[in-house]
Amino acid sequence: MVIPMQLSADGGAVITAVRDAEYTAEVTGGAIGSFSLTDVSVAYGRDRVIEGVTMDVPAHAVTALIGPSGCGKSTLLRCLNRMNDELGNVHVGGRITLDGQDIMGKAMDPVELRMRVGQVFQRPNPFPMSIFDNVAYGPRTQGIRSRTELSDLVEATLRSSALWDEVKNSLKKHAFELSGGQQQRLCIARALATRPEVILMDEPASALDPISTQQIEDTIAALKSSVTIVIVTHNMQQAARISDKTAFMLRESLEAPAFLVEMGDTKRMFTNPEDTRTESYITGRFG
């Protein structure tokens, strides 16, 4: 199935149609890229680190995961594309669905899931190959071989991650020659190139300077019309600026697992939180 992509006329940062309508209807029958978590728990070996997380991640919005260091944000994020499977000795309990489809059972192939749910890491980590090959890596994994199709895709995704203008004349250049911020936007393009429904971002700007951070935030803002974004961040201002929903997690002691304190519209969470612990965390009293 060929999935056409449209570029906005100004060459800017928006993918106007990531998937065609037929595909959308066929797979999801409506909005796509929404997670629903029910009583999710995670244990590393015998160490139970997360328990009882129930929440809904809406489609085509930015959801921020916040909480003190070590409370399991990255761990929860990895549940959403089953990357925990790769760590060995990790047990995930409860139920997680993507667009109503169970993603934890045997019926879901993790490989297929990961093509629908992309990930961007904390440290910019392009593959040691050219810019073009980095972006084309995912599509090639999916079996796309046609040169023109790949070029179109690479251009479209680099535009949506706002990197195209900077690299359009040097696609053959080694990815390591880019700056840190450019590398991170390349990693976003790489994740977008498999045309995912969701992108998971684990502190994507924490290794970057303020200007690069700004560019990443702009990219995220432009992307959310077409993909669902779940982002982990330690930066409260950032969460407030870019997210629509915010979920606050907390691990009160090392003996007890972490849990979800509350989740809601970002505006309300930051102005009028229900839980006092949320308020103290947001105002910087702990964590």
Partner 1 sequence: MSGTARIRQARAAEFVARMVLGAMAASVVAVALFVLGYIVFHGIGAIDWTFLTQIPKDRGREGGIFPVIVGTVYTTLGTAALTLPIGILAGVYLSEYAPRNYTTRAIRLAITNMAGVPSIVYGLFGLAAFVLAAGFGRSILAAALTLTCMTLPVVITATEEALRQVPQDLRQASLALGATRLRTIYRVVLPAAAPGIITGSILGLARAAGETAPILFTGAVFQMRRTPDGPLSQFMALPYHIYAQVTSVPGWNPTLVWGTALVLVAGISAASIAAGIWRSAQRRKVTW
Ligand X SMILES: Nc1ncnc2c1ncn2[C@@H]1O[C@H](COP(=O)(O)OP(=O)(O)OP(=O)(O)O)[C@@H](O)[C@H]1O
Interface residue list for Mg ion (CB under 5 A):
74
- Interface with partner 1, residue 83, by CB under 8 A: yes
- Residues 272 and 250: their CA atoms lie apart, in Å, by 18
Question: Among residues 65 and 135, whose Cβ is nearest to Mg ion?
Answer: 65
HSE value, Cβ hemisphere, 13 Å, CA-based, for 94: 20
- Alpha-helical segments (H) within 37-146: 73-80, 110-116, 131-141
Closest approach, Cβ 219 to Mg ion, in A, equals: 21
- Interface with partner 1, residue 184, by CB under 8 A: no
Instruction: State how far the alpha carbon of 113 is from the alpha carbons of 14, 56, 91, 267, in Å.
Output: 24, 18, 18, 31
- Interface with partner 1, residue 190, by CB under 8 A: yes
Question: Among residues 68 and 264, whose Cβ is nearest to ligand X?
Answer: 68
**Residue 44 site contact among Mg ion, ligand X, partner 1, none (CB < 5 to 8 Å, cut-off depends on kind):** ligand X
Question: Among residues 17 and 87, whose Cβ is nearest to ligand X?
Answer: 87
96, 85 in Cβ contact below 8 A? no
Q: Is 126 exposed, middle or buried (0-12, 13-18, 19+ CB in 10 A)?
A: buried
- Interface with partner 1, residue 111, by CB under 8 A: yes
- Residues 87 and 55: their CA atoms lie apart, in Å, by 24
- Interface with partner 1, residue 128, by CB under 8 A: yes
**Residue 72 site contact among ligand X, partner 1, Mg ion, none (CB < 5 to 8 Å, cut-off depends on kind):** ligand X
**Residue 278 site contact among partner 1, Mg ion, ligand X, none (CB < 5 to 8 Å, cut-off depends on kind):** none
| Encoded tokens for 35 | 């997670």
- Interface with partner 1, residue 283, by CB under 8 A: no
Look at strands 62-66 and 47-57 and give their pairing.
unpaired
Question: Among residues 90 and 263, whose Cβ is nearest to partner 1?
Answer: 90
Instruction: State how far the alpha carbon of 85 is from the alpha carbons of 16, 34, 80, 118, 244, in Å.
Output: 33, 21, 11, 15, 29
Closest approach, Cβ 207 to ligand X, in A, equals: 12
Question: Among residues 76 and 117, whose Cβ is nearest to Mg ion?
Answer: 76
Question: Among residues 30 and 70, whose Cβ is nearest to ligand X?
Answer: 70
Amino acid letter, residue 27 = V
What is the contact surface with ligand X in residues (CB under 6 A)?
Answer: 44, 49, 67, 69-75, 87
| Encoded tokens for 262 | 């509350």
Residue numbers at the binding site for partner 1 (CB under 8 A): 81, 83, 86, 111-115, 118-119, 121-123, 125, 127-129, 137-138, 141-142, 174, 176, 187, 190-191, 194
